[in-house]
Amino acid sequence: MLGVRTLLMGVLNLTPDSFADGGRYADPAAAVEAALAMVSAGADLIDVGGESTRPGASPLSAADERARVEPVLRSLVPAVSVPVSIDTYKAEVAAAALDLGATIVNDISALEYDSALSTVVAGRGAALVLMHTRGRSSEMYRHAHYDDVAAEVARELDARVTAAVEAGVPREALILDPGLGFAKRAEHSGRLLADLGPVARLGRPLLVGPSRKSFLTRALGARPPAEREWATAAAVTAAVLGGAHIVRVHGVTAMADVVKVADMLRRDAGLDCDGSGETR
């Protein structure tokens, strides 16, 4: 249940060009095996993605995205006991995934890219993750200008919550993601991770995804994604102490222990989801 402990969302990328693990799970059987291993290691949710949305990525057609995710979902959903999320901003892909048993849509655009997505989510009673970004992947850094990144991200996400509710998605179905690394330079992501309170105080569950992202190299120096796992552990701890209800990670086995300790510290500090001092 959200709030009792921080949940782990395991990332299952089915893309050849993901920044962290591109190409590893192109074979559906290998992808399902990897997801089962994540659940065994402690994942509470599995997030399946068929299109890379890293900064600068080229868009993928809905048909090609469906061709990647549908064979995996068809085998994965019956095989796991945890909820499955589809990481897409396309209504067509979301509809197909929900029809195959996914129950969450993780939309990096917060309903900005495909207006029909709200109808799909509302009609099927799915949960919806609204992530903060500005612009498309190919141009998002042009929009990375902030005076107060935490306040501005919270204000813009609040507007997307209003838009989602007006489009028919129940407020209770919404989860918010501050979008570390999306339309944010490294210093913006660091400041946002250090001050999640404004987003947490919007009153919806908070999902944070710092895993292996390039903003971590601001502290590490040049380091490939596979060598950012210790840095990810620090960022995950900060996310939990800052109010995250869900953390989205690649390395579930290691991060399961990190989250357990971070949850212990949060409880010992008497922190709720917005850091105000009452147990959440």
pLDDT tens sequence across 62-80: 999 999 999 999 999 999 9
Q: Are 245 and 3 in contact (CB under 8 A)?
A: yes
Q: Is the dihedral of CA 248, 94, 22, 78 positive or negative?
A: positive
Q: What is the pTM of this model?
A: 0.92
Length of the chain counted residue by residue: 280
pLDDT at 171 over 70: yes
Class of domain 7-269: alpha beta
Report pLDDT for 271: 80
Q: Tell me the range of 2-16, 129-143, 156-170 where mean pLDDT is highest.
A: 156-170
Q: What is the mean pLDDT of residues 128-138?
A: 91
Instruction: Reduce the DSSP state of residue 250 to 3 states and report it.
Output: coil
Question: How would residue 42 be classed by pLDDT, with cut points 50, 70 and 90?
Answer: very high
Tell me: pLDDT of 274 over 70.
no
- Domain segments of the chain as ranges: 7-269
Specify the amino acid at residue 140: M
Nearest to 250 by CA among 224, 266, 272, 229: 229
Tokens of 127: 């949960």
The mean pLDDT of the chain is 92
Q: What is the mean pLDDT of residues 232-256?
A: 97
Structure confidence at residue 278 (pLDDT): 43
Annotated catalytic residues are 213, 248
pLDDT higher than threshold 60 for residue 201 = yes
Work out the percent of the chain whose per-residue pLDDT is above 70: 91
